[in-house]
A and B are shown apart, each in its own frame.
Chain A
């Protein structure tokens, strides 16, 4: 079983209890306007180019015979300034687990562990399950909750801690800003709330979209006494869009 990973972040401080290592899995069924990890949207490996420092030497456009470069129109090893990379590395669960276990002693000793994030990690649910079986430390997930019920249950049951987003309570609004309806998310929330798992609900505070009084009130009503964390909007959210050739549309029109 292999998975596509677009980043591994050591020593993350905000991704669960204790210091964590966070694995970002590629691919997401949602298209939240404010997404700050645009390289996590597509499930396929893709090129990331830091254009600003490019000296236009053209070396990356010369033909190469690297296997890894074949899907792309450039050589990923040619840049003298190291500006080109592939976002999305294929790992077997075994190889990734082995890599993570190298530093596991630190995380275990300090009450931390592994967090899978994304993208939407549930899009690679089988990979996550296999990874979780092989990694012997505290396991957490950051998820939108958007996956069919069986998939959701299967993964959640293996987690020690769940961080699940409820971004927008209203069905139509949810569709408008994230691209999907929230029925399945709310259904999965019900399962989570009853599961006995330790969890926290998270809401990113997006100006005039999720941070309205109405939305927050409605969410409160849904999640009742669940632990709830409101995440301040990341002003740098748009920074990575040009690197993957996307536009950042959050403020388009109203700024």
Chain B
């Protein structure tokens, strides 16, 4: 398909230009945001590409800051600013906006929301004129209805979504998620199919086109690295009546993703004990494509955990996935799911240096671990005060709560990083220092502090010849269970500056590199400068028996207490997906993790040879996609340290 190649070759970039804007010092922040949106949407050039069914494409590259550097510095001195300062990782109520149309939403909006909607509709008018000019009556007909009025067909609904999503990005929000797409979009597809105005095949083509639209501007939505843009889509899972949502559209989404082989949208599949193996097989088909998704989350655990944490059942059951893996509540949740991170290896490092000498038993040492986790949680939580967000008039229109005041839920999510490094380190301390007494406290500390230059004989023992997290050994896994329990216990009962609670998680985001550099070597034989495993996974050099032991080990923690999200990550060589039979077996493994009570799983099909070659000849591998932490990216566009990390993860072959 030529539109596909057009986007792939970035030919649409030729329409792009930069803009500069001045902001009057007397304008309030919300006034500036509204003004900026108006100016950007006016400056946008309507571009309709040949063959394109779903239009709207970004032509203004940059989004000028609304504050001068001095102003921003002053705001930051008075407030806690989360990341870029904009709202992110929310799951807006697309369902309602698509159903009733923006004119109806305008009625209830504040004056700024009204102005933004007017600007969107004005840009839509200009798109319509362009469509007329090109003789694209089909597009004119669609834009006659949406986004102003409620969508009446599947195509209108998709176009309406595109304009709304595009506008959220243009407003400056980021990590703009897609939410439970098959749930709110299926009624339109079904109605069209029932009426006979579209065939399944036509709908698939349309959906492919729609999926492609996520990739048109995504290079402008840079996170920590290219690809970290948060366009995550949720499929399947339970509806408010407890019925399985997975439907024809869910299946078609998996197919579109497989057809396109592009990194957006990132697919999340909600599953539970009752999910049949066939759905996992469809998921594994997509895994085979090597995009690093779908990512699976377990309704049984997540809904239970969120409910226990204080979310109403009807909200918990509707959970969606943030940019990476954090569980968020559509429409009413204004949680900040990734506001901080606890480094487990740092806790062990502190205890090693401060408390090991005086600890008489391993249990006494673990008491200190508990104390230090509490202290670290104090530091993290107390450091977040006077949280302030740059106002987002359009996002506020799309949420069923006032996001400035905080939504119905204002929880703060804290990642927990390096759990395997910490667990393995605790095992070393327990086994050699306390149980067998073959390594003295002093020697272990000296070895760690000298990056194993001193007592060099310790390194091979602790690094390669000691039981590790992931080998399904209860005594070792118990440390991980304990660490997560201590973490969630330490956060329990705390109230954050917006009145919400804190949530403990198992994700790492970029902290698997950042936190690893905060400390030197670690007792598990990790050398100074070596990264942790990503998210919730085994240490990079642990000798692991295989994936069955891994899923068993990693299903043991009490996830319903630590429910901020962060998947077990497994890397499979792509030769494991050769035929239907193999794909079914991989599906069995995923299902097994869910049935054992695992919370979230992310599976990659990787090809090491390809990655090695891509480092040498990036020009030949522009389409090679890899999963980073909660998102996928084109391998050749990553910084080398991220490339290297992907290449070092545990890989299983047949």
B460 touches A82 (CB 8 A): yes
A11 touches B548 (CB 8 A): yes
A82 touches B585 (CB 8 A): no
With both chains docked as a complex, state the minimum distance between the C-beta of A6 and any C-beta of chain B, in angstroms: 14
A110 at the interface (CB under 8 A from B): yes
Whether B576 and A103, one on each chain, are in contact in the complex, defined by CB atoms closer than 8 angstroms, is no
- Evaluate contact between A12 and B456: CB separation under 8 angstroms: no
CB pair B545 A10 closer than 8 Å: yes
Would you give the 0/1 interface string for A8-21, flagging 1 where the beta carbon is closer than 8 Å to chain B? 11111110001101
Expressed in whole angstroms, the Cα–Cα distance for A82 and B465 within the complex equals 9
B552 adjacent to chain A (CB < 8 Å): yes
* Chain B 447-491: CB-based contact to A (< 8 A → 1; otherwise 0): 000001000110111011100000010000000000000000000
In the complex, chain A residues whose CB is within 8 Å of the CB of B465:
77
User: Does B472 contact A103, Cβ atoms closer than 8 Å?
Assistant: yes
B461 adjacent to A77 (CB under 8 Å): yes
Contacts of A51 in B (CB 8 A): none
Known: A77-B461, A82-B463. A106 touches B548 (CB 8 A): yes
Closest chain-A Cβ to B530's Cβ sits at a distance in Å of 13
Give Cα A182 to B629, complex, Å: 54
> Which one of A14, A19, A78 lies within 8 Å of B588 (CB-CB)?
A19
Q: 0/1 per residue, A84-119, Cβ < 8 Å to B?
A: 000000000000000000110011011010000000
Q: Choose among A13, A77, A110 the residue with the greatest number of B CB atoms under 10 Å from its CB.
A: A13
Task: Tell me, yes or no, whether B224 is within 8 Å of chain A by CB.
Answer: no
A59–B452 CA distance with the chains assembled, in angstroms: 14
Given A18-B585, A110-B592: A12 and B654 within 8 A (CB)? yes
A69 to chain B, nearest CB (A): 12
| In the complex, B547 has a CB within 8 A of chain A | yes
A79 within 8 Å of B (CB atoms): yes
Once A80-B456, A103-B552 are accepted as A-B contacts, the answer to whether A13 and B588 lie under 8 Å apart by CB is no
B206 at the A/B interface (Cβ < 8 Å)?
Answer: no
Interface centre among B460, B541, B543, B652 (most CB of A within 10 A): B460
Asked if B607 lies at the interface with its beta carbon under 8 angstroms from chain A, I say: no
A173 CB → nearest B CB, Å: 30
The answer to whether B549 and A10 have CB atoms under 8 Å apart is yes
In the bound complex, CA of A18 to CA of B545 (Å): 19
B601 to chain A, nearest CB (A): 14
B546 beta carbon closer than 8 Å to chain A: yes
- Tell me the complex Cα distance, A19–B457, Å: 39
B576 surroundings in chain A (CB, below 8 A): 13
Q: A11-B546, A77-B465 are in contact. Are A59 and B589 (CB under 8 A)?
A: no
A10 x B546 contact (CB < 8 A): yes
Question: Is B581 interfacial (CB 8 A cutoff)?
Answer: yes
Within the complex, the shortest CB–CB distance from A84 to chain B, in Å, comes to 9
Q: Are B547 and A78 in contact (CB under 8 A)?
A: no
Chain A residue with Cβ nearest B472 = A102
Docked-complex contact B460 and A80, CB < 8 angstroms: yes
The answer to whether B548 touches A79 (Cβ under 8 A) is no
Query: Could you tell me if B582 and A13 are in contact, using CB atoms closer than 8 angstroms?
Result: yes
Q: What is the CA–CA distance of A19 and B549 in the complex, to the nearest angstrom?
A: 13
Q: Specify the chain A residue showing the minimal Cβ separation from B572.
A: A11
Q: Determine the chain B residues whose CB is within 8 A of the CB of A109 once the complex forms.
A: 592
Which of A10, A18, A102, A112 is B547 in contact with, Cβ under 8 Å?
A10
Nearest CB in chain B to that of A60: its residue:
B460
Q: Is the CB of A82 within 8 A of B541?
A: yes
Of chain B, the residue at the smallest CB distance from A99 is: B545
B548 A10 Cβ-Cβ under 8 A: yes
Q: Name the CB-closest residue of B to A8.
A: B545
Interface range, B side: 20 to 34
Are the C-beta atoms of B460 and A77 separated by less than 8 Å?
yes
Encode contact with B along A47-81: 1 for CB under 8 Å, 0 otherwise. Answer: 00000000000010000000000000000011110
CB closest residue in chain A, given B652 = A11
Q: Which residues of A contact B461 (CB under 8 A)?
A: 77
| Residue among B459, B549, B585 having the largest count of chain A Cβ atoms under 10 Å | B585
Distance, CA A18 to CA B552, complexed state (A): 18
A21 partner residues in chain B, CB cutoff 8 A: 546, 548
B552 to chain A: which residues have CB within 8 Å? Answer: 102-103, 106
CA distance A141 to B457 in the complex (A): 41
Give A23 Cβ to nearest chain B Cβ, in Å: 12
Which B residues are CB-close (under 8 A) to A77? 457, 460-461, 464-465
Chain B residues positioned under 8 Å from A10 (CB to CB):
545-549
With A77-B465, A103-B548, A106-B548 as known contacts, state yes or no: A13 contacts B460, CB within 8 Å: no
Bound: A77/B552 CA distance, A: 28
B589: chain A residues at CB < 8 Å are 11, 19, 106
Specify the chain A residue showing the minimal Cβ separation from B547: A11
Task: Return the chain B residue nearest A10 by Cβ.
Answer: B546
**A145 and B169 alpha carbons, distance in the complex (Å):** 66
Residues of B within 8 A of A106 (CB): 548, 552, 589, 592
Q: Which of A110-144 contact B (CB under 8 A)?
A: 110, 112
- Chain A: minimal CB distance from B474 (Å): 10
Query: Closest CB-CB distance, B614 to chain A, in whole Å?
Result: 20
Tell me, in angstroms, the Cα distance from A78 to B461 when the chains sit together.
8
Rounded to whole angstroms, the CA-CA distance of A22 and B549 in the bound complex is: 14
CA distance A109 to B459 in the complex (A): 40
Q: Is the CB of B654 within 8 A of A82?
A: no
Q: How many Å lie between the Cα of A237 and that of B460 in the bound state?
A: 29
For A13, list chain B residues within 8 Å (CB): 576, 581-582, 585, 654
What are the residues of chain B within 8 A of A103 when measuring CB–CB?
472, 548-549, 552
> Which of B459, B547, B576 gathers the greatest number of chain A CB atoms within 10 Å?
B459
| Complex Cα gap A53–B123 (Å) | 60
* Closest chain A residue, CB of each to CB of B459: A80
CB 8 Å contact bits of B586-604 with A (1 = contact, 0 = none):
0011001000000000000
Q: Which residue from chain A places its CB closest to the CB of B588 in the assembled complex?
A: A110
The distance from the CB of B34 to the nearest CB of chain A, in whole angstroms, is 56
Residues in A with CB closer than 8 Å to B652 are 11
Which residues from 132 to 175 on chain A have a C-beta closer than 8 Å to any C-beta of chain B? none
- The smallest beta-carbon distance between A25 and chain B, in angstroms, is 17
**Considering residues B464, B472, B652, which has the most beta carbons from chain A within 10 angstroms of its beta carbon?**
B464
Within 277-304 of B, Cβ neighbours of A (below 8 Å) are at none
A18 to B582, CA, bound (A): 9
A82's nearest neighbour on chain B, judged by CB, is: B464
- Chain B residues with Cβ under 8 A from A82's Cβ? 460, 463-464, 541, 543
In the bound assembly, the distance between CA atoms of A112 and B548 in angstroms comes to 13
Q: How far is the CA of A80 from the CA of B546 in the complex (A)?
A: 23
Chain B proximity of A238: nearest CB distance (Å): 16
Measured CB to CB, the closest approach of chain B to A179, in angstroms, equals: 28
Q: Report the minimal beta-carbon distance from B285 to chain A, rounded to whole angstroms.
A: 15
Give CA–CA (A21, B472) in the complex, Å.
Answer: 15
| Contact flags B256-295 to A (C-beta < 8 A → 1, else 0) | 0000000000000000000000000000000000000000
User: Which chain A residue lies CB-closest to B585?
Assistant: A19
Inter-chain contacts of B549 with A (CB < 8 A): 10, 102-103
Q: Which of A222-252 contact B (CB under 8 A)?
A: none
Cβ-closest chain A residue relative to B464:
A82
12 pairs, A vs B, C-beta closer than 8 Å: A8-B546, A9-B546, A11-B652, A13-B585, A14-B582, A19-B585, A77-B460, A80-B452, A80-B460, A103-B548, A106-B589, A107-B548
Known interface pairs A10-B547, A80-B452, A102-B472; 5 further A-B residue pairs with C-beta atoms within 8 A, sorted by A's residue number: A77-B461, A78-B460, A82-B460, A103-B549, A110-B585
Measuring CB to CB, which residues of chain B are less than 8 angstroms from any residue of chain A?
A: 452, 456-457, 459-461, 463-465, 472, 541, 543, 545-549, 552, 576, 581-582, 585, 588-589, 592, 652, 654
Which residues of A are in contact with B by a Cβ distance under 8 Å? 8-14, 18-19, 21, 59, 77-80, 82, 102-103, 106-107, 109-110, 112
Of all A-B residue pairs in the complex, the 7 with the closest CB atoms, nearest first, are A10-B546, A82-B464, A110-B588, A10-B548, A103-B548, A19-B585, A13-B582
